[in-house]
Amino acid sequence: MAQFEEVSQKSAVHPKPVGLVLQYGTAGFRTNSKQLDHVMFRMGLLATLRSKKTKATIGVMVTASHNPEEDNGVKLVDPMGEMVTPAWEVYATQLANAEQEELLTALKDVIEREAISMAQEASVFVGKDTRPSSDSLSQAVLDGVHALGGHNYGLVTTPQLHYMVCCQNTQGRYGEATVKGYYRKLSQAFIQLTKNVPNRTDDQKALLVDGANGIGALKVCEMETYLKNELQLSLFNDGSSGKLNHLCGADYVKVQQRAPKGVEMTAGERCCSYDGDADRIVYYYSGSAGRFHLLDGDKIATLISTYLKELLTQAGLDLQIAVVQTAYANGSSTQYLEDTMKVIVRCTKTGVKHLHHAAQEFDIGVYFEANGHGTVLFSKAAEEKIQKLAQDSNTNDERRRAALLLQNTVNLINQTVGDAISDMLLIEAVLAIRGMTVQQWDAIYTDLPNRQLKVKVADRRVIDTTDAERRTVSPAGLQEAIDSRVKKYRRARSFVRPSGTEDVVRVYAEADTQLAWQCTASLEDLMKN
């Protein structure tokens, strides 16, 4: 077939280095950008097949998120804006690792197994972040997609791409499938939410943003005019001079537990950092004694779920709300959510696809990784109940007001994936509506001191975990060694797991004193030996 001949010819332009093996990991393929040209081309092919199979638009995002500027990556986005289904992750790995002469066979194998009709039309949306390598790599994706209906969005944040894929496949019911449509929907919801908040001062509207020198900085600038001064942003690390994710951005701030370089913060000011593709956000401020206070994904989940629970009570709506976390969630947050707030808490494996999936099981599922990646999912039934109440003129004022707030909250949230810009607007709206300062938010509970570090080992795959990655099952004796260290500290918890995005093992420990540091240091030694 002519199509396959074309694949052969084009793939020669994007040759695979012999013997190179890569894995579709936690967030797609991710490694040094020099190794990715053939992967991009092949993911263009696979996205086209996925589109033919689902008869829907599929997304391809070229980004390596919070990784260093030299890295890049690619992931596929399914029709409703969610991560590609696991069976296709396997195809992705097979296709990426097929040697040059095996590529057609691997491709035909997918077509046969999925019974794909090649006559079906395809539509693929491609997005990229601001890395220097993203131009040529997204071109390689487009070569793979070829003339089968691909649409190139150019520079967008990861969540904007997910959003537009979802809009396209729901015939506009979720919104307009353009970047402007995204700005309009979110900003209108934000303005609706905050317009009745009395006496909002300029101070309360002010927020410092660290753009990580990435795509989020460009996009939040574009959005600002739509917000009509209801939020006054001061942008730092806007990409004009600094290097992407270097000493800045959400991952740096969360892991180092310190302020990013380049942000001029004064005591008590509310600040936030995005990551390199703007799907994560963390907040922070500097306390009176110059102490750094971090408000991570766990604090964000707590703030949002408290707000939603309160509105549900006011609206008299009986909807079940749950919070989904991972092993990295601070023990204090889990305790607060379960014991004080009395909401259901679930723990899943690391990686948004796991959290997203678990959150879908509830009327309202709030999910956040401690690193600031998360969103809220509303079931169809929940959305309908909220909408019905908001339009019911026979209901009393308090219930109606709460239902309207809930309705605008639904519109403000990007339910397809964690979204730094959407999460930021939601947090700002919640703080305004509840009349809370960042300090009051921070005081909801106190984090247990904790530390996360990474250790290079010969082969991280020898570590196998269970119980949502909180315990190891192999190598033999490792879990016992961890247990014997952890029991020396109070309220201590620790675990190790192989990273899905870097060639390292991650070590995490928390305890009710700074001794968590000793615990991770001792585990670091253990891993190295």
Name which of 436, 451, 443, 434 is nearest 508 in CA terms. 451
Asked whether the beta carbons of 241 and 262 are under 8 A apart, the reply is no
Return the C-alpha torsion angle 416, 31, 274, 124, nearest 10. -30
**Positions at the binding site for Mg(2+):** 65, 275, 277, 279
The residue number whose beta carbon is nearest to Zn ion equals: 65
Asked whether the beta carbons of 399 and 316 are under 8 A apart, the reply is yes
Tokens 């092993």 belong to residue: 327
Of residues 143 and 275, the one with the C-beta less far from ligand NG1: 275
DSSP result, 58-84: EEEEE--TTS-TTEEEEEEE-TTSSBP
Looking from the CA of 342 toward its CB, the CA atoms found within 13 Å total 1
Phi, psi of 255 (to 5 degrees): -75, -40
Asked whether the beta carbons of 36 and 137 are under 8 A apart, the reply is yes
Question: Within positions 287 to 326, which residues make up the interface with Zn ion, using CB under 5 A?
Answer: none
Q: What is the length of the chain?
A: 529
What stretch of H or E contains 329? Answer: none
Residue 246 tokens read as 């270097």
Residue 10 tokens read as 């084009």
Of residues 16 and 75, the one with the C-beta less far from ligand NG1: 75
The nearest distance, CB 323 to ligand NG1, in angstroms, is 16
Residue 495 tokens read as 């675990």
- Pairwise CA distance, residues 154 & 340, whole Å: 46
Residues forming contacts to ligand NG1 in the complex (CB under 6 A) are 26-27, 65, 328, 350-351, 369, 371, 373, 499-502, 506
The nearest distance, CB 72 to Zn ion, in angstroms, is 13
Could you say which of 37, 129, 279, 423 contacts Zn ion (CB under 5 A)? 279
The nearest distance, CB 350 to ligand NG1, in angstroms, is 5
Could you say which of 275, 298, 369, 442 contacts Zn ion (CB under 5 A)? 275
Question: Quick check: 273 binds Zn ion (CB under 5 A)?
Answer: no
CA 99 to chain centre: 32
Q: Which does 350 bind (CB under 5 to 8 A by kind): Zn ion, ligand NG1, none?
A: ligand NG1
Please report, as a single letter, which amino acid is at residue 496: V
Of residues 150 and 372, the one with the C-beta less far from Zn ion: 372
Of residues 277 and 298, the one with the C-beta less far from Zn ion: 277
Question: Quick check: 423 binds Zn ion (CB under 5 A)?
Answer: no
Of residues 271 and 282, the one with the C-beta less far from Zn ion: 282
The nearest distance, CB 352 to ligand NG1, in angstroms, is 6
Q: Which does 58 bind (CB under 5 to 8 A by kind): ligand NG1, Zn ion, none?
A: none
User: How far does the chain reach from its first CA to its final CA, in angstroms?
Assistant: 55
Q: Which does 275 bind (CB under 5 to 8 A by kind): ligand NG1, Zn ion, none?
A: Zn ion
Of residues 54 and 134, the one with the C-beta less far from ligand NG1: 134
Name which of 272, 219, 269 is nearest 414 in CA terms. 219
Q: Which does 353 bind (CB under 5 to 8 A by kind): ligand NG1, Zn ion, none?
A: none
**Positions at the binding site:** 65, 275, 277, 279, 369-371, 497-501, 506
Positions marked catalytic: 65
Asked whether the beta carbons of 418 and 352 are under 8 A apart, the reply is yes
Q: Which does 277 bind (CB under 5 to 8 A by kind): ligand NG1, Zn ion, none?
A: Zn ion
Q: Which residues are bridge partners to 273 per DSSP?
A: 210, 282
* Binding segment toward Zn ion, per CB under 5 A, in 39-47, 58-66, 260-268, 288-296: 58-66
Of residues 243 and 470, the one with the C-beta less far from Zn ion: 243
Q: Which does 501 bind (CB under 5 to 8 A by kind): ligand NG1, Zn ion, none?
A: ligand NG1
Question: Quick check: 65 binds Zn ion (CB under 5 A)?
Answer: yes
> Pairing mode, if any, of strands 57-62 and 71-77?
antiparallel
**Positions at the binding site for substrate:** 369-371, 497-501, 506
Residue 67 tokens read as 């990784």
The nearest distance, CB 280 to Zn ion, in angstroms, is 5
Q: Which does 502 bind (CB under 5 to 8 A by kind): Zn ion, ligand NG1, none?
A: ligand NG1
Could you say which of 69, 82, 277, 442 contacts Zn ion (CB under 5 A)? 277
The nearest distance, CB 215 to ligand NG1, in angstroms, is 15
Name which of 348, 345, 326 is nearest 336 in CA terms. 345
The nearest distance, CB 17 to Zn ion, in angstroms, is 26
Residue 102 tokens read as 């095996």
User: Which residues lie near Zn ion (CB under 5 A)?
Assistant: 65, 275, 277, 279
